[in-house]
Structure 1
Amino acid sequence: MIAGPAFSTVPTNPSRNGRRAMRVKLKGVNTVTHTAADGSTSKYYYHRASGKRLTGEPGSAEFLASFEEAGRAVAQERSAGTVSWLIRQYCDSQQWKKLAESTRTIGRFNLNGVEAKWGTTLLKHVDDRRSRALFLKWHDQLAETQPRAADNKLAALARVFSWGYNRGHLIHNPIATFERAYGNSRAELIWLPNHVAAFEAVANAEMQLSLLLALHTGQRQGDLLRLPWSAYDGEAISLRQGKGGRKVWIPCTDALRVALDAAPRRAITMLTKPDGTPWTKNAFHNAWKSAFTLTRITDDLHFHDLRGTAVTMLSEAGCTPQEIATITGHTLASVNKILELYLARTRALAQSAIVKLNAHRRNAK
């Protein structure tokens, strides 16, 4: 057997007549020539670091794909037991894959920053109780100039550690809790009746319908922009949420039913531009922002705040947290957390409580 270098055909910079190709030596490939008893010869190619036999002929797409796959396998083996390895395991998990695409995109961005700093850190060092101080110091340093980014990156790492702990890769999660640096909390930002009235007074019909849908269903913007007319049967709306894949069935309020029955069906989706074409995320954001500017509302309210507002409206109407969760698709824990944060901004429950207290005192006499 004779060992030698392998060559592969790869494209170079494009020219006016198309892409040229040249034969280059692939580093890390061993070529083995086998001579049979009858004198015939065959060539076999092996990935040097892993010893894995490569498939296809040099220059073919199959050969290059086989070479790259073998390289990834070696990189994974070499990084086993590190933070980089744990991040890859997490990103291959069902917990990660069931997240919405937009959530994964943001998460991957934050994890790239985490991996650049902590990727080579051994998991046995993460398990050391003293590691918490190191992670928090990194967070504090980032927060000096980018407090929100610092929070997001440490939160992303904390989720990976939590996943790793639950699957036995870590003894504990050293950053299960941490004090956030970004102080612009939206905990009490909800749409009050005067905000809704101000928006409806200046918004066009398309924006008014999107506001009503959000307030009366408690769904995310992305789910509402994709919501088809086929999801509405004249009485209720059925949908599967993009984030988490939870299926919800929402009986329509009288106001929402009247609005949907009167709305023109110009496209597959309920919400459209004035010309009847579906919204893109950016186009809707710009249209919503333009309408909100006309309201002269001084509070920093966002479309997403309508989801928390819907939870508080349902609670004020007397719904239990369990009933609210079936409508909005939140977990029960999330509903309780939202109510704890948002209800301080409203007056309806406070007034209801005093009415009950007065009635109690009269009956006690």
Structure 2
Amino acid sequence: MPECLVFRVPTRHPADISGLDALIESGAVAPDEIVAVFGKTEGNGCVNDFTRPLAVMALEAALGARLGVSPATIGARVALVMSGGTEGGLSPHLLILARREGPAGEGKAAKGKALAVGTAFTDDFLPEEIGRMAQVRATAAAVRRAMAIAGLAEVSDVHFVQVKCPLLTSARIQEAAARGEGVATHDTYASMGLSRGASALGIGLALGEIPESALDDSVIGTRTDLYSGRASASAGIELMRNEIIVLGNAPGWSGPLRIAHRVMRDGIDFPAIQGALADLGFPGAGQLPPEAAERVLALLAKAEPSGNGLIRGRRHIMNDDSDINATRHARALVGGVAAAAIGRTDLFVSGGAEHQGPDGGGPVAVIGRVVA
């Protein structure tokens, strides 16, 4: 009977793997049990955020050395999702997810369902496929594979799907042009949003939230009414494929961990976060007390400034600031609201929520240790 383990460790810099080493040395987790790592790194979260590939390289090298395999072998089987940007009070950290196998009937079985994890990967995309229907369809297929690996037969049991997706660079655009192919955009920053959007629509397609008949290249990045309430996508320069992590509550898994989600209607939707906490049995009023906060293994959220420049009818300037990118403002805003609810700042808040929740909002999920 499998069990999903989740560990949260702080980082001193993007290449810091001391927390991972300490977990392995203590026997808390074996390196071959690790299936995915989420990370918040302190870069700018934009095209030239090289803290993300630096963290990936450090993790691949560390796990490869432990297992006696090449870093490339680790990269081929472990989903490494690094999200740049820890604006405001957000704390850089890693979330390490492992799958521990046990004989049937061994260990404490969950009452009903327990936290389950599944991962899958698409093939590498050609530059001209990024931000287009090829990426949507490939993502949907990979989500379904990850669900099957996790034993999540019902889409209603899926609570959060994280995707790491590629972006376009000038070199990638030129490579496509040399073959006579056009790309979705020549704006490399805009390509991040299109890639995230296509990935999110693929998640929505796989989970039955969006009908395939509503999808074509023209809706990607434009139809804000088409979205998934469980999708989170982060774009980076360090890959050309989509890496998918599906999290849900599944029968046949053991352990005390569960996941719940809600959809924030805007960046200050404190009640949505409290609702996800309440679904897991946490206190529903005010900030969690310290002992309850420590039972929260992870908070995962998306952040995006509204396109109309308003939050509940009042003007914000996130889209008008030429000095600080709007997604950086949004991460700081949502990070502050989430930290106020949880009572901690080591939270996975990712910017850029195209088709990931309603315009100006986004999904929020909480992984917690449930007390019987």
Normalised-by-shorter TM-score class:
under 0.3
1 or 2, which has the higher strand percentage? 2
Q: Greater relative contact order (Cα 8 A, min sep 6): structure 1 or 2?
A: 2
TM-score (norm 1): 0.25
Structure with greater Cα Rg: 1
